[in-house]
Amino acid sequence: MVDRTHLKWFAEARFGMFIHWGLYSLLGRGEWVMFQERISPEEYAPLARRFRPRRFDAEAWVNLAREAGCKYVVFTTRHHDGFSLFDSEVSEFTSARTAAGRDFVAEYVRACRRAGLKIGLYYSLLDWRFPAYFSGPAKDPKGWEEHVRYSHAQVRELCTKYGKIDLLWYDGAWVPWKEGDPAVNSAPRGDVWRAAELNAMVRELQPHIVINNRSGTLEDYDTPEQHIEASPSGRPWEACMTMNDHWGYCRGDHNWKTTTQLLHNLVTCASGGGNLLLNIGPRADGTIPAPSVKRMRELGAWMSVNGRAVYGAGSAPFGGNNFGLTTARGNTVYLHVFYWPGRALTLPGVQPRVTSARLLATGERLKVDQEGDVLRLSGLPGAAPDRRDTVIALRLRDSARR
Ligand code: GLC
Sort 67 into a burial class: Cβ within 10 Å, 0-12 / 13-18 / 19+. middle
By most ligand atoms within 8 Å of CB, the mutation choice from 225, 240, 246 for ligand 1 is 225
258 has pLDDT over 90: yes
Instruction: Determine the Cα–Cα distance for residues 277 and 272; give it in Å rounded to an integer.
Output: 14
Region 332-355 average pLDDT: 97
Fold annotation for 5-309: TIM Barrel (3.20.20)
Output the ligand 1 site: residues, CB below 6 A: 20, 31-32, 171, 225, 240, 247
299 contacts 68 by C-beta, under 8 angstroms: yes
**What integer is the mean pLDDT of 123-137?**
95
Which CATH code fits 324-396? 2.60.40.1180
Domain spans, the chain: 5-309, 324-396
Ligand 1 atom nearest the C-alpha of 30 is 9
| DSSP 8-state secondary structure symbol assigned to residue 386 | S
Report pLDDT digits (tens) over 158-214: 999 999 999 999 999 988 755 555 555 567 889 999 999 999 999 999 999 999 999
CA–centroid distance, residue 225 to ligand 1 (Å): 8
pLDDT tens profile 131-174:
999 988 989 999 999 999 999 999 999 999 999 999 999 999 98
**Cβ atoms < 10 Å from Cβ of 10:** 22
Query: For residue 18, which atom of ligand 1 is closest to its CA?
Result: 6
Q: Ligand 1 mean position to 79 CA, how many Å?
A: 9
- Cite the DSSP H helix spans in 320-398: none
Candidate of 169, 247, 277 to mutate for ligand 1, largest count of ligand atoms within 8 Å of Cβ: 247
Look at strands 118-124 and 365-371 and give their pairing.
Answer: unpaired
> Is the pLDDT assigned to residue 1 strictly greater than 50?
no
What is the whole-number distance in angstroms between the Cα of residue 134 and the centre of ligand 1? 18
pLDDT of residue 252: 98
Taking only Cα atoms into account, the Rg of the chain, rounded to an integer number of angstroms, comes to: 23
pLDDT of residue 232: 85
Percent of the chain with pLDDT over 70: 96
> Distances in Å between the alpha carbon of 145 and those of 52, 77, 132, 152, 196?
33, 22, 9, 10, 16
For residues 298-312, give the mean pLDDT.
98
Where does residue 293 fall: left (phi above 0), alpha (psi -120 to 50 degrees), or beta otherwise? alpha
The pLDDT of residue 275 is 98
* Span from the CA of 171 to the centroid of ligand 1 (angstroms): 7
